[in-house]
């Protein structure tokens, strides 16, 4: 209601400016009153406004995983196809870099800011700065824990808690005949929404049966190198590991190297569950090394561009836009692999 009221006022103001013959309108979509045909100057001005590209400032988390690379590709190609001018910034997994990038977008007076927050907390100040500058913000992939949801227009991304639940549900079924199940967990980046939520969703399911025990849980920062390093430490410290639950494919793939180097068979000696669904994980499934992949879809670039156009046009958008995703047990990998696009 607030927005549609503002749109109406804006449309009226623009119509008034045109009727006064100032030629200073910045919008090309004001409804015609039918009272007076536009002058040549006004028509040119309106055409220029319509031709003006939307400038999008996008702050990406980094390039920590195959998922992230696919997400960046999707955003860049969708922005170019949609005719937006994209100012892209890579935060190298550091919140301070994202805050700097957002402040720079504000200074450059971009039309809209989108970003995937590295961690959940600590965004209110910079989000208020964007709001005060009149620049709308769209959250992508990861959300923030701010109490004030007027600081952003919408959040488009996966339901990470649900992904954790799907992993847990599959494991409960797989291990139904076992009496004791020791699990090690490779968490994503500490404080990030996917690390917090995937842990929560998984624990919600497995905590219903005390035979499931998470015997070690540590961050691998969503990277292959750290996934391998932490798995090596788990293997040294834990005598009996039945299951590895990795918050993403890259950490699982790093851990597989550690498991093989320790003389064990991934997928057999240790059941492996991971999240994302990158091609490399599907290849590992066809080789019998990962047992389950819960999909997390990074290719929402085109959907994001539609949302951005709506936001810039002042249209009402849903506060939460979820991305559809599936579950792939090892047995389905060979058939699914050729169709994987990331
Ligand atoms: O926020 C999505 C997560 O971030 C992906 O699951 C992970 O691979 C990435 O680094």
pLDDT of residue 46: 57
Q: What's the angle, vertex CA 181, arms to CA 175 and CA 183, rounded to 5?
A: 110
User: Rounded distance, CA 8 to CA 193, Å?
Assistant: 37
Residues with CB under 6 A from ligand 1: 64-65, 67-68, 141-142, 194, 222, 248, 250, 275-276, 296
Three-state DSSP at 335 gives helix
CATH topology for 160-296 is Rossmann fold (3.40.50)
Q: Which two tokens stand for residue 165?
A: 């639940």
Query: What is the average pLDDT value for the chain, to the nearest integer?
Result: 89
Q: Is the dihedral of CA 189, 190, 193, 194 positive or negative?
A: positive
Q: In what order do the strands lie in the sheet with 112-115?
A: 85-90, 55-60, 112-115, 137-140, 154-157, 320-322
Please state the CATH superfamily assignment of the domain spanning residues 52-158+299-324 in this structure: Response regulator (3.40.50.2300)
Listed by start position, the domains of the chain span: 52-158+299-324, 160-296
Q: How far is the CA of 250 from the centre of ligand 1 (A)?
A: 9
For residue 151, what are the contacts with CB-CB under 8 A and spacing of at least 6? Answer: 123, 124, 127, 128, 130, 131, 137
Which numbered atom of ligand 1 lies nearest the CA of 142? 1
Radius of gyration of the chain (CA): 24
pLDDT of residue 52: 87
User: Rounded distance, CA 18 to CA 226, Å?
Assistant: 61
Q: How far is the CA of 323 from the centre of ligand 1 (A)?
A: 14
Q: How far is the CA of 192 from the centre of ligand 1 (A)?
A: 9
Q: How far is the CA of 210 from the centre of ligand 1 (A)?
A: 29
pLDDT of residue 314: 95
Which numbered atom of ligand 1 lies nearest the CA of 192? 1
Of the chain, the end-to-end C-alpha distance in Å amounts to: 40
Residue segments in the chain with a per-residue pLDDT below the cut of 70: 1-51
Ligand 1, from 59, 60, 61: best to mutate by most atoms within 8 Å of Cβ?
61
pLDDT of residue 44: 56
């Amino acid at each position: 209601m607030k927005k549609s009221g503002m749109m109406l006022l804006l449309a009226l103001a623009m119509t008034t400016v045109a009727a006064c013959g100032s030629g200073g309108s910045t919008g090309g979509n004001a409804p015609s009153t039918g009272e007076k045909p536009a002058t040549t100057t006004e028509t040119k001005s309106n055409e220029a406004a319509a031709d003006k590209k939307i400038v999008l400032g996008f702050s990406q988390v980094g390039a920590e995983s195959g998922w992230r690379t696919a997400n960046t590709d999707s955003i860049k190609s969708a922005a170019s196809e949609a005719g937006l001018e994209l100012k892209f910034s890579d935060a190298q997994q550091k919140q301070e870099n994202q805050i700097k990038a957002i402040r720079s977008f504000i200074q450059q007076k971009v039309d809209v800011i989108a970003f995937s927050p590295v961690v959940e907390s600590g965004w209110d100040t910079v989000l208020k700065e964007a709001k005060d500058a009149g620049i709308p913000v769209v959250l992508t992939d990861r959300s923030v824990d701010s109490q004030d949801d007027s600081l952003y227009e919408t959040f488009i991304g996966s339901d990470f808690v649900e992904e954790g639940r799907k992993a847990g549900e599959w494991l409960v079924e797989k291990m139904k005949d076992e009496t004791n199940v020791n699990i090690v967990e490779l968490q994503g980046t500490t404080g990030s929404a996917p690390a917090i939520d995937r842990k929560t969703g998984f624990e919600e399911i497995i905590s219903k049966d005390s035979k499931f025990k998470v015997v070690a849980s540590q961050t691998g920062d969503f990277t292959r190198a750290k996934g391998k390093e932490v798995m090596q430490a788990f293997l040294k410290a834990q005598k009996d590991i039945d299951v590895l639950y990795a918050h993403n494919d890259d950490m699982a793939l790093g851990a597989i190297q550690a498991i093989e180097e320790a003389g064990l068979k991934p997928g057999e000696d240790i059941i492996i569950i991971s999240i994302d669904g990158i091609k490399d994980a599907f290849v590992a499934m066809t080789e019998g090394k990962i047992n389950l992949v819960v999909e997390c879809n990074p290719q929402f670039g085109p959907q994001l561009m539609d949302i951005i156009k709506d936001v810039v046009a002042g249209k009402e958008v849903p506060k939460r836009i979820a991305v559809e995703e599936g579950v792939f047990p090892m047995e389905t990998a060979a058939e699914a692999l050729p169709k994987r696009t990331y």
